[in-house]
Amino acid sequence: MIEFKNVSKTYPNGTKGLKNINLKIEKGEFIVIVGLSGAGKSTFLRSINRLHEITEGEIVVDGKSITAARGGELLKMRRDIGMIFQNFNLVKRSSVLRNVLSGRVAYHGTLRMLLGMFPKEDKDLAFQALNRVNMLEKAYSRADELSGGQQQRVSIARVLAQKAKLILADEPVASLDPLTTEQVMNDLKHINEQDGITTIVNLHYIDLARKYATRIIGLRAGEVVFDGPVEEATDERFADIYGRQLEKMN
Ligand SMILES: Nc1ncnc2c1ncn2[C@@H]1O[C@H](COP(=O)(O)OP(=O)(O)OP(=O)(O)O)[C@@H](O)[C@H]1O
Ligand SMILES: [Mg+2]
């Protein structure tokens, strides 16, 4: 579903974010990217939907080069890619429902959305999405009245309403407590398993990575230093790669 071909990213100030990455990700995988701060996890994830532009190589998504895509074609490719952020990126003063409906914007254009003209099918989709993350009863609450974990579940509902085929989550649980962390990770995992949505998550915690991933990719200074199934991602292996610096949960 995703292929990195000789991908490098050099920031304008000369920092190398990614160095010659070559890998393939199959449909339905649940991938966790781990690495120390500054390893290139966010750069990797954001390269896929072109929130960051790569400087060498090519990224192919669903058989098409997103690197080469322009204009309407790029927008259409992005419509299939849902993004989840550490800080939730909700419109705080809007209702939960409006936030989830904003996942439909790419299908209709902004004007209709500004006027609040959502077709009934979209509202049905939004309610279904909220139901799946157990947030139905909060549909008419303001987003900023919710806890962090609830806000993150709303942002998951937003990518569900978007009907994304690929979910990219950049440290989705970094600002949540351990219990809420498990709820949010479980939601992501269920959606991945039930809908077959390819999911790529950046995490700091190696234990959490092992618990949820089907495959772990380890980055260090912009390079892939580990790529394999969870069974191979042992403490010993990671201590070799990172020293004992990768965070454990307890
Ligand atoms: N806009 C930028 N301009 C210059 N350098 C940048 C920029 N963004 C990131 N970098 C550098 O690129 C490298 C990779 O950064 P990135 O944000 O991808 O790391 P990360 O693994 O996500 O780290 P963290 O765990 O702290 O989020 C780092 O050396 C960082 O300083
Ligand atoms: Mg990051």
Q: Is the confidence at residue 190, as pLDDT, over 70? A: yes
Nearest CA to ligand 1 atom 31: 38
Q: How confident is the model at residue 249 (pLDDT cuts 50, 70, 90)?
A: low
Atom of ligand 1 at shortest distance to CA of 222? 14
Identify which ligand lies nearest to the alpha carbon of 8.
Answer: 1
pLDDT, tens only, 75-90: 999 999 999 999 999 9
The total of other beta-carbon atoms located within 10 Å of residue 137's CB is 10
- pLDDT value of residue 27: 96
- pLDDT value of residue 105: 82
Q: Are 22 and 48 in contact (CB under 8 A)?
A: no
- pLDDT value of residue 114: 67
Which residues contact residue 101 at a Cβ distance below 8 angstroms, ignoring those fewer than 6 apart?
113, 118, 122, 123, 126, 161
Q: Is the confidence at residue 204, as pLDDT, over 90? A: no
Cα(185)–Cα(39) distance, integer angstroms: 22
Q: How confident is the model at residue 64 (pLDDT cuts 50, 70, 90)?
A: very high
Statement: 1-80+165-250 belongs to CATH 3.20.20.70: no
User: Please, where in the chain does CATH 3.40.50.300 lie?
Assistant: 1-80+165-250
Cα(9)–Cα(120) distance, integer angstroms: 43
Which residues contact residue 194 at a Cβ distance below 8 angstroms, ignoring those fewer than 6 apart?
none
pTM for the whole structure: 0.94
- pLDDT value of residue 239: 85
Residue to substitute in 7, 34, 42 for testing ligand 1 pocket (most ligand atoms within 8 angstroms of CB): 42
Question: What is the DSSP-derived secondary structure letter of residue 247?
Answer: B
Q: Are 122 and 104 in contact (CB under 8 A)?
A: yes
Phi first, then psi, for residue 173 (nearest 5°) are: -120, 10
Nearest to 23 by CA among 57, 49, 51, 54: 57
Nearest CA to ligand 1 atom 4: 11
Task: Please tell me the number of Cα atoms within 13 Å of 190 on its side-chain side.
Answer: 14
Atom of ligand 1 at shortest distance to CA of 36? 25
Cα(64)–Cα(103) distance, integer angstroms: 23
pLDDT, tens only, 87-132: 999 999 999 999 999 988 888 766 766 677 788 899 999 999 999 9
Percentage of the chain with pLDDT > 90?
81
Nearest CA to ligand 1 atom 12: 17
